[in-house]
A and B are shown apart, each in its own frame.
Chain A
Amino acid sequence: MNIQLGILLVLISSCFIQAQTTTVCKTGCNYSSIKIAIDSAKSGDHIFIKKGIYKESNIVIYKKSLHITGEKGTIIDTQNNGYGFSVEATDIIIKNLTIKNIEVSYIKEYAAILLFKSYDFEIENITVENAFFGFLIQKSKDGKIHNNTISGEGKAEADSGNAIHLWHCENVKITNNDVRRMRDGIYLEFGNNSYISNNYSTENMRYGLHFMFSNNNTYENNIFEANGAGVAVMFSKKIKMYNNVFKKNWGTASYGILLKEINDAELKHNTFEDNTVGINADGTNRIIYTENTFKNNGYAIKVHGACYDNIYSKNNFLYNSFDLSYSGNLNSNKFENNYWSNYTGYDLNKDGIGDIPYRPVKLFSYLVNRTPESIVLLRSLFIDLIDFSEKVSPVFTPENLIDNQPLMTQVTW
């Protein structure tokens, strides 16, 4: 009985106290294969993979809490065969690895790391090269994904996946990642209460960042540059977007941000520069746009129908070809206290607010919407003349679409 109890105690203590560190390398370590090392490991073990190229794939971690760390120069080449890691576990850490050559499939979403029903996970400092999907995180929560670099080599949307893809996830922090040349840089589908910051997302074929049915998320200090269609925030609520930079999203269906069916969001301190359209808003309600800078965009903001109670205030509109394109009625949306570089009014009482209101919608933007080819007449003297006459007596543009208190100097924060 005593002996039995003793064995049990030893067993328990080895479980909870004596977490073992196992090493993996070609020769002279505990294991030469990562897969075998993992299969042999107990929950709570650390696995240290020494540098070298490991041609392994479909490494499964099932209901085992492991901390897997690589040495600098540790490369896992999956040789276009399925997943890199496929994980279903709690308290899992994977870091300091390079994983490359993920299989492209039209049926399965192969990823460098697949997490399924995993909690308390951390993915750090992973470089994924030639990725199909980078990290595919499903039905998981409470995780961190940081300092990773993910790049793909796909040629079209169909044969590339997303760099970081969350599906039905809660409370994930995605920070300091560099994602490029994928389909979407970061994609949240049914992802809630997550925090995305300091990422650099560029040259992705579709969106730099993409929210679908995801609520209560915050993203800030990210840079989204030259993505196929910019950033898309769709069918989501309570998204906070702060301090992001959206630039060089050029094309017929390209935006800094595409907002579709969004409620109660806030955009603050963002910079939109050199985009075909800075913000494309469609069916948005109760959104506050404040202290953003729109510079050198084709259109700073395009507002389509079904937008209510949005407030645009204290933004800088600088040298955009068009500041605003607007469909339908004003619908209790407000434009107030913005700085418009195209404003030509004056401020006689020197209170910093222009004495005559500013009309951000030009007649010409209506003409261009109707006959797109007429864009070649942009900035023509004739167009300036008709815009001026429209400004004096509005016929085509909504009469009450005015910034009554345009600022005389740029907003700073």
Chain B
Amino acid sequence: MFKILKYSFFDLMRSSWSYVYFGFYLLLGIVLLFLNNDLSKAVITLMNVIIVLVPLIGTIFGVMYYYNSKEFTELLLAQPLKRSSIFLGQYLGVAISLSMSLILGLGLPFIAYGLFKSNAIWDFSLLLIVGVFLTFIFSALAFNIALSNENKIKGFGYAILMWLFLAIIYDGLFLMSLILFEDYPLDKVSLIGTMLNPIDLSRTLILLKLDISALLGYTGAVFKQFFGTSFGLIVSFLALAVWVGLPVLRITYKSIKKDF
């Protein structure tokens, strides 16, 4: 698996897309910090970007890489290699190279700005960790979609739809159902609702850091326990790990069953 990972990783590192992605984050970091000169504001803007864009790019990249490396995959399939290691290797190659672009692209301008001397370092590290999680989750989801759809156009369509659903539509439905059932105790439901969407989950983690003052203003023992103690942080991270684990398991499972 590590050999495949290595080749996928270097393959991607050489593709211009990685540089575009890296360049985008570099530019974003520089613009936010040096034109704005406000670290706290930069971190908040970054949060909005990370939560929306990282999943989108992870999804598109995952699907694109899968379809583009079909030949490579077929070449590898005839070799004495386990199927799961071929696909996991490719997946990890994509996820790791994307994460690297993200971390370096955002990290460099922030380090240049003097992040290490600032209090914002924890907020910023959390952002990066969440970004990496989202990259791993969404490229895994993208691989799942691509594995299940031979048709490239269909695969892309479903992938974008999935992103759209998780990034926007889900929250709309979520909000509507909360308003619809507002007469019932909803704190548990609303927390479960966030757990079921990796984007919401990452948002919650960031809220715990940036908006804890607001979150603590709400009654309900469940909310209090979740937001007021490290319980929320731990549960959210565990849920994120599950969100990485399940799609990866399905990649393994699907790849064993699939014909080429």
B40 touches A382 (CB 8 A): no
Q: What residues of B have a CB within 8 angstroms of the CB of A275 in the complex?
A: 213
The answer to whether residues A382 and B168 also contact, given A276-B213, A376-B194 and a CB cut-off of 8 A, is yes
Q: Does A208 contact B (CB under 8 A)?
A: no
- Which residues 258-313 of A have a CB within 8 angstroms of B? 274-277, 296-299
Chain B interface main SS type: helix
Cβ-based interface call for A251 (8 A)? yes
Instruction: Kindly state the separation between the CA atoms of A216 and B211 in the bound complex, as whole angstroms.
Output: 36
What is the bound-complex CA distance between A377 and B200, given in angstroms?
8
What 1/0 flags go to A370-392 for Cβ under 8 Å of B? 11111111111111110000000
User: A319 near B: Cβ within 8 Å?
Assistant: yes
Q: What are the residues of chain A within 8 A of B187 when measuring CB–CB?
A: 373
* B23 contacts A by Cβ under 8 Å: no
* B182 CB contacts on chain A under 8 angstroms: 370-371
Query: How distant is B21 from chain A, measured CB to nearest CB, in Å?
Result: 20
| Residue in A298, A299, A372, A376 with the greatest tally of chain B CB atoms within 10 Å | A376
A298-B211, A321-B211, A382-B172 given; A371·B186 CB < 8 A: yes
**Interface residue B12 (Cβ < 8 Å from any Cβ of A):** no
- Which of chain B's residues 178-222 have a Cβ closer than 8 Å to chain A? 178-179, 182, 186-187, 189-191, 193-194, 200, 203-204, 206-207, 210-220
User: Which of under 10, 10 to 19, 20 to 34, or 35 or more describes the interface residues of A?
Assistant: 20 to 34
Q: List 8 A-B contacts (CB under 8 A).
A: A251-B216, A252-B216, A254-B217, A298-B213, A373-B218, A376-B204, A378-B215, A379-B206
Query: 5 new A-B pairs (CB below 8 Å) besides A370-B179, A373-B218?
Result: A297-B213, A321-B211, A374-B178, A377-B171, A381-B48
B residues whose Cβ falls under 8 Å from a Cβ of A? 38, 40-41, 44, 47-48, 51-52, 167-169, 171-172, 174-175, 178-179, 182, 186-187, 189-191, 193-194, 200, 203-204, 206-207, 210-220, 223
Q: How far is the CA of A341 from the CA of B206 in the complex (A)?
A: 19
Closest to B41 in A: A341
Closest-by-CB residue of B relative to A251 is: B216
Instruction: Please give the distance in Å from A387's CB to the nearest CB on chain B.
Output: 12
In angstroms, Cα B212 to Cα A275, docked, is: 9
B residues near A318, Cβ cutoff 8 Å: 40
Bound CA–CA A371/B203 (angstroms): 19
Residue of B nearest to A341 (CB): B41
- A25-B106 Cα distance, complex, nearest whole Å: 69
Assess whether A379 is in contact with B189, with CB atoms less than 8 Å apart.
no
Does the CB pair B218–A380 fall under 8 Å? no
Given known A252-B219, A373-B190, A384-B48, contact A378–B211 (CB-CB < 8 A): yes
A322 at the interface (CB under 8 A from B): yes
Chain A residues with CB under 8 A of B168: 381-382, 385
